Amino acid sequence: MTTIRPRDRDAVLQSLRAGVVPRIGQHLIQVGRARELDALMKDIDRVADGGSSFRIVVGEYGAGKTFFLNLVRAIALEKKLVTVHADLNPDRRLHASGGQARSLYAELVKNMSTRTKPEGGALAGVVEKFIGQAKTEAKASGRTSEEVIRAQLSQLTEMVNGYDFSDVIAAYCRGFEDGNEQLKSDAVRWLRGEFSTRTDARAALGVRTIVDDATIYDQLKLLGRFVRMAGYSGLMVCLDELVNLYKLSNVSARNSNYEQILRILNDSLQGSAVGLGFVLGGTPEFLLDTKRGLYSYPALQSRLAENAFATNGLVDYSGPVIRLASLTPEDFYVLLDKIRMVYAFGDASKVLVPEEAIPAFMKHCATRLGEAYFRTPRTTITAFINFLAVLEQNPGRDWRELIDALTIQRDDGGSASNVPASPTDGDDELASFRLD
């Protein structure tokens, strides 16, 4: 492993220790999931070729869904796709009537990323890239920039909000050429779905529609086509924490959200969404529960059913559902070894524990947590980083003594042995580890 910058090292370790996915440096700790990643890479290639894709990534709490989704986003960015991502919560849904769907759309667009701006906030850059190309063509053809823009965007007018979308891009171009920052700001606000009333949008931009709860998917389809016109390969939408739909107590609200998922799934499988891919992350209950999960909606159950021939160790990664398999002991060994090296800045001479400490630590975790430490690796990773942190700050201690003293502290304050760590209320509620 090459030398790791302190910034990248700290970002990875602090995130893992807190039980969240690091935003940078994911390649430093990636192991396993090769076949799952290969399936998603084929989806990315399909989207880049003007097609569409839809996947639901299913895994237990702490099994690595969010990490996997972030890795897919990073690959999509390298393939010149634009990505948007957001976590669902009670105030962000796919379908609603009280602004929750528009809130989800606003969060997605706020997190828009490109290869040159992977941290988000790339919307204005994408629009200006499109306008720059239009200005170059206008100069060559002797037309105005707005004429070229409207001609290029004419194919979008057949879609929902397509006319107003063209008007907003043209308004941004006028603001760009005239140095009118207010006009540019208003155009970006409309594209982000931040106008709450049509009256305000009409006063600012002269358009009659806004992005509302009923049109967020149509707006994403518009964005999918627009980013291709701007020179990108397509749009990848990553939605995590879909278990929040499963938790909706109102049956009508839950089914309305499932209907939206069905609409997206149908469009994707039929290829009617150009240059648009969806990756959704959820728990097994969200998918399989026949009372509240996706399987409670018959049309989705039939489309998401497992391949009946994929049994007895056989797998099929071509369907819409990808189950994250448990890490093998070999994968886990490699993962902990990579974390050990990250802690040492990639310098083998600075490692805090020898290689034999890893199998000893794994054996201890297997005794305490059983098979759950493979199935939900997050808690074990947190424990390993805590273990290294104590060794770093107490250089006189023997690592063997610390492993023997490792106990598991449950949320209720008691210690546990052979208890699977699978929180029930969200990815951030983890079983914690304590070094006595």
In this structure, are 360 and 320 located in the same domain? no
Residue 417: per-residue pLDDT: 41
Q: Is the pLDDT of residue 348 over 50?
A: yes
Tell whether 50 is covered by a domain: yes
Tell whether 384 is covered by a domain: yes
Residue 180: per-residue pLDDT: 93
Residue 373: per-residue pLDDT: 58
In this structure, are 241 and 291 located in the same domain? yes
Task: From 322, 248, 241, select the one nearest 291 (Cα to Cα).
Answer: 248
Tell whether 255 is covered by a domain: yes
In this structure, are 132 and 276 located in the same domain? yes
Q: What is the tens place of the pLDDT at every residue in 275-288? A: 999 999 999 999 99
In this structure, are 348 and 308 located in the same domain? no
Q: What is the tens place of the pLDDT at every residue in 41-96? A: 999 999 999 999 999 999 887 778 888 999 999 999 999 999 999 999 999 999 99
Residue 430 confidence class, pLDDT cut points 50, 70, 90: very low
Domain end point (choices 326, 352, 369) = 326
Tell whether 244 is covered by a domain: yes
Domain end point (choices 308, 326, 344) = 326
Tell whether 204 is covered by a domain: yes
In this structure, are 97 and 188 located in the same domain? yes
Residue numbers of the domain that contains 319: 33-326
Structure pTM? 0.83
Instruction: Taking residues 119-131, report their average pLDDT.
Output: 94
Q: What is the tens place of the pLDDT at every residue in 204-216? A: 999 999 999 999 9
In this structure, are 290 and 348 located in the same domain? no
Task: Give me the phi and psi of 402, to 5 degrees please.
Answer: -65, -40
Residue 415: per-residue pLDDT: 43
Counting the structural domains of the chain, the total is 2
In this structure, are 283 and 361 located in the same domain? no
Task: Give me the phi and psi of 322, to 5 degrees please.
Answer: -115, 120
Q: What is the tens place of the pLDDT at every residue in 359-392? A: 988 888 777 766 555 556 777 888 889 899 999 9
Tell whether 99 is covered by a domain: yes
Tell me the sheet residues that pair with 394. Answer: none
Tell whether 21 is covered by a domain: no
Q: Is the pLDDT of residue 301 over 90?
A: yes
In this structure, are 103 and 225 located in the same domain? yes
In this structure, are 218 and 274 located in the same domain? yes
In this structure, are 359 and 313 located in the same domain? no
Q: In what order do the strands lie in the sheet with 52-58?
A: 82-87, 235-240, 276-282, 52-58, 321-323
Tell me the sheet residues that pair with 281. Answer: 57
Q: In what order do the strands lie in the sheet with 406-409?
A: 415-416, 406-409, 432-435
Sign (positive/negative) of CA torsion 148, 127, 42, 322? negative
Domain end point (choices 278, 295, 326) = 326
Instruction: Taking residues 224-253, report their average pLDDT.
Output: 95
Q: Is the pLDDT of residue 419 over 90?
A: no
Q: Is the pLDDT of residue 416 over 70?
A: no
Distance (Å, rounded) from C-alpha 100 to C-alpha 90? 8
In this structure, are 290 and 426 located in the same domain? no
Q: What is the tens place of the pLDDT at every residue in 383-405? A: 889 899 999 999 888 888 888 77
Residue 251: per-residue pLDDT: 95
In this structure, are 302 and 342 located in the same domain? no
Tell whether 22 is covered by a domain: no
- Which pair of tokens denotes residue 351? 């490692």
